Amino acid sequence: MPFGQAPLVPINSYRKDENLWLLPYNAELPLDGGFPEFGNGQSMEIPKQYDPKEAEQRHYARWESSGCFAPEINRNPAAPVFSIVIPPPNVTGSLHMGHALQHTMMDVLTRYKRMCGFRTLWLPGTDHAGISTQLVVTRELKKEGLNRLDLGREKFVERVWKWKNESGGQITNQMRREGASVDWSREKFTMDADLTRAVREVFVRLYEEGMIYRGNRLVNWCPNDQTVLSDLEVEKIPQAGKLYYLRYPIKGEDGHVTVATTRPETMLGDTAVAVNPNDSRFEKLVGATILLPLTNREIPLVADEFVDPEFGTGAVKITPAHDPNDYEMGLRHDLAQVVVIDAYARMTEAAGADFVGLDRYKAREKVVARFTEMELLEKVVDYEFSISKCERCKTVVEPLISLQWFMRMDRLRDLALEHLAREGQPRFVPRQYERVYSNWLENLRDWTISRQLWWGHQIPAWYTSSGETIVARSYEEACESAGTTELTQDPDVLDTWFSSALWPFSTMGWPEQTEDLRVFYPTSVLITARDIIFLWVSRMVMMGLKFIGQGPFADVYITGTILDSHGQRMSKTKMNGIDPLDVFDKYGVDATRLTLASVGTTDVRWNEKQVESYRNFANKIWNAARFALMNAEGAAVNPSSLNPADEDFPLQDRWIVSRFHRTTRDLRVALENYEFHEAVQTLYHFFWDDFCDWYIELAKIDVTSEEDSLRRTTARTRLLTILEQALRLLHPFMPYITEELWQRLPGAESNLLHQAYAGADATIMLAAFPEAREELIDEKAEWQMKTIIDLVSRVRNIRSEMNIKPAERVRVLVGAADPQLRDVFSASAEQITRLVRASELSVGGELNAPKASARAVLTGGAEVAVPLEGLIDFAQELQRLDKEMEKLRTEAAKIETQLSNPNFVQRAPAEKVDELRSRIADIAQRSTQLQQTIENLQ
Partner RNA sequence: AGGCACGUACGUCAAUGGUAGACGGCUUCCCUUACAAGGAAGAGGUUGGGGGUUCGAGUCCCUCCGUGCCUACCA
Window 386 to 405, contacts with RNA (CB under 7 A):
386
Between 64 and 328, whose beta carbon lies closer to RNA? 328
Between 232 and 340, whose beta carbon lies closer to RNA? 232
CB 395 within 8 A of CB 224: yes
- Binding of RNA by 612 (CB under 7 A): yes
Among 604, 701, 871, 885, binds RNA (CB under 7 A): 604
Among 84, 299, 307, 321, binds RNA (CB under 7 A): 307
Among 514, 797, 833, 842, binds RNA (CB under 7 A): 797
Cβ 127 to RNA, closest distance in Å?
Answer: 19
Touching RNA, residues 814-873 (CB under 7 A)? none
Which of these segments, 58-66, 122-130, 594-602, 705-713, binds RNA (CB under 7 A)? Answer: 594-602
Angle 220-226-227 from CA coordinates, rounded to 5°: 50
Which of these segments, 346-354, 372-380, 451-459, 622-630, binds RNA (CB under 7 A)? Answer: 622-630
319 Cβ contact list (under 8 Å, min separation 6): 266, 267, 269, 270, 271, 326, 338
- Binding of RNA by 418 (CB under 7 A): no
Give the whole-angstrom CA distance, residue 550 versus residue 426.
Answer: 11
CB 213 within 8 A of CB 461: no
Between 64 and 612, whose beta carbon lies closer to RNA? 612
Between 74 and 929, whose beta carbon lies closer to RNA? 929
CB 889 within 8 A of CB 924: no
Residue 346 φ then ψ, to 5°: -110, 160
- Binding of RNA by 696 (CB under 7 A): yes
Which of these segments, 159-167, 518-526, 537-545, 624-632, binds RNA (CB under 7 A)? Answer: 624-632
Cβ 704 to RNA, closest distance in Å?
Answer: 6
Between 362 and 700, whose beta carbon lies closer to RNA? 700
- Binding of RNA by 623 (CB under 7 A): yes
Which of these segments, 45-53, 344-352, 448-456, 841-849, binds RNA (CB under 7 A)? Answer: 45-53
Among 325, 481, 833, 842, binds RNA (CB under 7 A): 325
Cβ 552 to RNA, closest distance in Å?
Answer: 21
Between 316 and 812, whose beta carbon lies closer to RNA? 316
Touching RNA, residues 65-104 (CB under 7 A)? none
- Binding of RNA by 323 (CB under 7 A): yes
- SS3 at position 458: strand
- Residues facing 128 on adjacent strands: none
Among 185, 226, 372, 432, binds RNA (CB under 7 A): 432
Which of these segments, 109-117, 316-324, 408-416, 820-828, binds RNA (CB under 7 A)? Answer: 316-324
Q: How many CB atoms lie within 10 A of CB 359?
A: 15
CB 739 within 8 A of CB 59: yes
- Binding of RNA by 586 (CB under 7 A): no
Give the whole-angstrom CA distance, residue 419 versus residue 664.
Answer: 35
Give the whole-angstrom CA distance, residue 468 versus residue 189.
Answer: 33
Cβ 316 to RNA, closest distance in Å?
Answer: 4
CB 141 within 8 A of CB 159: yes
Cβ 465 to RNA, closest distance in Å?
Answer: 39
- Binding of RNA by 258 (CB under 7 A): no
Question: Which amino acid is residue 63, in one-letter code?
Answer: W
Cβ 228 to RNA, closest distance in Å?
Answer: 16
Residue 469 φ then ψ, to 5°: -105, 125
Touching RNA, residues 914-933 (CB under 7 A)? 919
- SS3 at position 452: coil
Helix 97-115 and helix 651-672: axis angle, to 10°? 120
Task: Give the residue among 557, 551, 715, 712 at the shortest CA–CA distance from 642.
Answer: 715
Give the whole-angstrom CA distance, residue 312 versus residue 258.
Answer: 9
CB 65 within 8 A of CB 28: no
Q: How many CB atoms lie within 10 A of CB 615?
A: 21
Cβ 912 to RNA, closest distance in Å?
Answer: 5
- Binding of RNA by 311 (CB under 7 A): yes
Which of these segments, 409-417, 550-558, 680-688, 754-762, binds RNA (CB under 7 A)? Answer: 680-688
Touching RNA, residues 764-793 (CB under 7 A)? 792-793
Between 635 and 792, whose beta carbon lies closer to RNA? 792
Q: What is the DSSP string of 736-753?
A: HHHHHHHHHSTT-SGGGB
Residue 147 φ then ψ, to 5°: -125, 175
Between 439 and 876, whose beta carbon lies closer to RNA? 439
Cβ 81 to RNA, closest distance in Å?
Answer: 29
Give the whole-angstrom CA distance, residue 598 versus residue 562.
Answer: 11
Residue 77 φ then ψ, to 5°: -65, -20
Touching RNA, residues 350-389 (CB under 7 A)? 385-386
Among 263, 413, 654, 662, binds RNA (CB under 7 A): 263
Cβ 432 to RNA, closest distance in Å?
Answer: 4
- Binding of RNA by 643 (CB under 7 A): no
CB 259 within 8 A of CB 246: yes
Which of these segments, 211-219, 310-318, 408-416, 496-504, binds RNA (CB under 7 A)? Answer: 310-318
Residue 439, Ramachandran bin (φ over 0: left; ψ between -120 and 50: alpha; else beta): alpha
CB 937 within 8 A of CB 895: no
Among 8, 48, 70, 511, binds RNA (CB under 7 A): 48
Counting residues that bind RNA (by CB under 7 A) gives 97
CB 117 within 8 A of CB 765: no
Between 761 and 801, whose beta carbon lies closer to RNA? 801
Cβ 797 to RNA, closest distance in Å?
Answer: 4
Cβ 170 to RNA, closest distance in Å?
Answer: 27
Angle 623-627-633 from CA coordinates, rounded to 5°: 145
- Binding of RNA by 443 (CB under 7 A): yes
Pair type for strands 488-489 and 461-463 = antiparallel
Touching RNA, residues 703-732 (CB under 7 A)? 704
Q: What is the DSSP string of 460-493?
A: SEEE-TT--EEE-SSHHHHHHHHT-S--EE---E
779 Cβ contact list (under 8 Å, min separation 6): 658
For 900-909, where are the alpha helices, taking DSSP H only?
902-907
Touching RNA, residues 225-254 (CB under 7 A)? 231-232, 236, 243
Task: Give the residue among 65, 73, 68, 67 at the shortest CA–CA distance from 32.
Answer: 65
Cβ 910 to RNA, closest distance in Å?
Answer: 10
Cβ 186 to RNA, closest distance in Å?
Answer: 32
- Binding of RNA by 688 (CB under 7 A): yes
- Binding of RNA by 616 (CB under 7 A): yes
Which of these segments, 167-175, 391-399, 435-443, 773-781, binds RNA (CB under 7 A)? Answer: 435-443
Among 96, 360, 620, 926, binds RNA (CB under 7 A): 620
Question: Which amino acid is residue 555, in one-letter code?
Answer: D
Give, for 700, the enclosing helix (H) or strand (E).
Answer: helix 697-703
CB 441 within 8 A of CB 116: no
Site string for RNA, 504-543 (x = CB under 7 A): --------------------------xx--x---------
Task: Give the residue among 766, 753, 742 at the shortest CA–CA distance from 621.
Answer: 742
Cβ 569 to RNA, closest distance in Å?
Answer: 6
- Binding of RNA by 904 (CB under 7 A): yes
Between 83 and 619, whose beta carbon lies closer to RNA? 619
Q: Using alpha carbons only, how large is the chain's radius of gyration in Å?
A: 37
